[in-house]
C-alpha cells in the first residue's frame, strides 16, 4: 500500500493514500489510517534496560554482545522488518551460526485492500535469505530446541515470543534479548531490552505481494535515545565477531547489491516512485497465504456495458 504521512513539528496527524496505479490506485484500508498512533502509544519503549533496570544504550549493546558470543543462540526475526534490517539480521545469524525463524500473521483478507498475510515483508526475508520457507504461526520448532537444551539465548526482533507459542517456563530457560518498539510479555521477560524505531521514524524498503520493491522515508524523528535499527544491528554483528556492515541506507545498499543477486542493479536512491518489480521465479512454488496478489486492476477498455 502506498501512503503519505502528514506531520508537523515532529507530530503525525494523518495518513492518506498516495496514488500508485501499479499497486493501489488512490485507495487504502481504513485501518491503515490509524497506524501512526503507535508512535506515541503508552507502551512505547524509549530506553534500554538490562535485568529490568534502565541503562544507557552502550551498556545494553555490550551486554547483548557478550551474551550472543556465549553461543547456543537462536534468532527470531520479523516479517515487519525492512529488507535492510532483515539483511543485517541474516548477517548476524550467519556470524553466530544461529538458526533464524519468522512468525506468520494470517487473518481474513478482503480480496481488494486487506491481505490475508498481515506481515508486510515476508518476501524481503525470502529474498535476503533470512528464511528459506514460509513462516509458521507458532515457534514450535524453537520450543523443542529450548526444551532439549540446544538453545540458551534467544534474540527477538520485535516479536512477542509468548504470543508465538513459547511458554513462560521456556522463556525462563533462556536469556532473552529483545529489540522492539513496544512493551510486551517478551520485553518484560528479557535480560536485555534495546528500543527501536517505528516505520514512521526511519528509512528502508519493503517487498509487497507482487514482489515489488518500494521504499519509505522517515516522517518524524524518533525518540531522543533510540538509535536507528540499522546502527543497532550493525553493532551487534560486530559485537558477535563479524565485520561491521554499513549502518546507513546508501552504504548498506551497496552491500546488498553486491551480495544478493535479486538486488544486483538496485540502489535506494534509484528506486522509482512506483517501486521496482523483482524477479520472483525462485519463489513461484511457495503457498503464500493471501492467494491471488492484491493490486489495482483498472477496468478493461474493451468492456461492454448494457442497461
Instruction: Give per-residue pLDDT as tens, 134-158.
Output: 999 999 999 999 999 999 999 999 9
CATH fold group of domain 42-283: Rossmann fold (3.40.50)
At 163, is the pLDDT very low, low, confident or very high (cuts 50, 70, 90)?
A: very high
How high is the pLDDT of residue 307?
A: 40
SS3 assignment for 55-114: ECHHHHHHHHHHHHHCCCEEEECCCCCCHHHHHHHHHHHHHHCCCEECECCECCCCCCCC
Long-range contacts, stretch 247-252, CB < 8 angstroms, 24+ apart: 249/84, 249/203, 249/204, 252/84, 252/87, 252/88
Residue 238 neighbours by CB under 8 Å, 6+ apart: 244
How high is the pLDDT of residue 297?
A: 65
The gap from C-alpha 128 to its chain's centroid, in whole angstroms, comes to: 12
Neighbour count for residue 150 (Cβ, 10 Å): 12
How high is the pLDDT of residue 46?
A: 97
Strand partners, 195: 180
More confident residue, 21 or 208: 208
How high is the pLDDT of residue 28?
A: 80
What is the share, in percent, of the chain residues with pLDDT greater than 70? 94
Q: Where are the domains of the chain?
A: 42-283
How high is the pLDDT of residue 108?
A: 87
Nearest to 15 by CA among 181, 195, 179, 198: 198
pLDDT digits (tens, 9 = 90+) for 101-123: 999 998 888 777 788 889 999 99
* Contact indicator for 231, 247 with CB cutoff of 8 Å: yes
Rg (CA), the chain: 20
- Using CA atoms, how far residue 119 sits from 40, 98, 162, 304, in Å, is 22, 23, 18, 38
How high is the pLDDT of residue 305?
A: 43
Average pLDDT value for the chain: 92
Q: Is the pLDDT confidence value at 283 over 80?
A: yes
Burial of 132: CB neighbours in 10 Å, binned 0-12, 13-18, 19+: exposed
Strand partners, 194: 179
* Contact indicator for 269, 96 with CB cutoff of 8 Å: no
Mean pLDDT, range 237-256, rounded to an integer: 95
How high is the pLDDT of residue 18?
A: 87
**How far is Cα 232 from Cα 16, in angstroms, rounded to an integer?**
31
Burial of 18: CB neighbours in 10 Å, binned 0-12, 13-18, 19+: middle
More confident residue, 106 or 220: 220
**How far is Cα 13 from Cα 149, in angstroms, rounded to an integer?**
48
DSSP codes, 235-256:
HHHHHTTSPPPP-SHHHHHHHH
Where are any strands of DSSP class E within the chain?
Answer: 3-8, 11-17, 48-50, 53-55, 73-76, 100-101, 153-157, 175-180, 192-195, 204-207, 212-216, 276-277
Nearest to 51 by CA among 191, 167, 201, 175: 191
Phi, psi of 80 (to 5 degrees): -100, -5
Q: Which three cell numbers stand for residue 294?
A: 492484491
How high is the pLDDT of residue 22?
A: 78
Q: Is the pLDDT confidence value at 39 over 80?
A: yes
More confident residue, 135 or 304: 135
Amino acid at each position: 500500500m502506498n501512503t503519505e504521512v502528514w506531520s508537523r513539528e515532529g507530530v503525525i496527524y494523518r495518513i492518506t493514500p498516495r496514488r500508485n496505479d501499479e499497486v493501489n490506485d488512490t485507495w487504502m484500508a481504513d485501518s491503515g489510517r490509524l497506524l501512526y498512533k503507535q508512535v506515541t502509544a503508552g507502551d512505547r519503549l524509549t530506553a534500554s534496560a538490562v535485568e529490568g533496570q534502565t541503562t544507557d544504550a552502550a551498556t545494553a549493546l555490550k551486554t547483548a554482545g557478550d551474551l550472543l558470543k556465549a553461543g547456543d543462540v537462536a534468532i527470531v526475526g520479523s516479517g515487519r522488518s525492512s529488507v535492510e534490517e532483515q539483511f543485517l539480521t541474516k548477517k548476524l545469524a550467519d556470524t553466530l551460526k544461529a538458526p533464524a525463524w519468522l512468525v506468520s500473521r494470517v487473518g481474513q483478507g478482503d480480496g481488494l485492500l486487506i491481505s490475508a498475510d498481515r506481515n508486510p515483508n515476508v518476501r524481503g526475508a525470502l529474498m535476503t535469505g533470512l528464511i528459506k520457507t514460509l513462516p509458521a504461526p507458532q515457534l514450535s520448532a524453537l520450543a523443542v530446541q529450548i526444551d532439549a537444551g540446544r538453545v540458551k539465548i534467544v534474540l527477538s526482533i520485535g516479536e512477542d515470543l509468548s504470543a508465538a507459542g513459547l511458554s513462560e517456563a521456556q522463556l525462563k530457560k533462556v536469556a532473552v534479548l529483545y529489540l522492539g518498539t513496544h512493551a510486551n510479555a517478551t520485553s518484560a521477560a528479557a535480560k536485555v531490552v534495546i528500543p527501536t524505531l517505528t516505520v514512521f521514524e526511519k528509512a528502508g524498503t519493503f517487498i509487497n505481494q507482487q514482489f515489488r520493491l518500494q521504499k519509505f522515508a522517515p516522517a518524524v524523528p524518533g525518540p531522543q535515545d533510540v538509535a536507528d535499527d540499522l546502527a543497532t544491528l550493525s553493532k551487534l554483528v560486530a559485537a558477535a565477531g563479524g565485520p561491521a556492515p554499513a549502518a546507513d541506507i546508501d552504504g548498506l545498499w551497496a552491500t546488498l547489491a553486491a551480495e544478493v543477486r535479486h538486488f544486483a542493479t538496485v540502489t535506494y536512491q534509484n528506486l522509482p516512485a512506483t517501486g521496482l518489480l523483482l524477479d520472483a521465479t525462485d519463489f513461484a512454488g511457495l503457498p503464500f497465504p493471501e492467494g491471488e496478489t492484491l493490486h489495482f486492476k483498472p477496468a478493461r477498455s474493451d468492456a461492454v456495458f448494457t442497461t
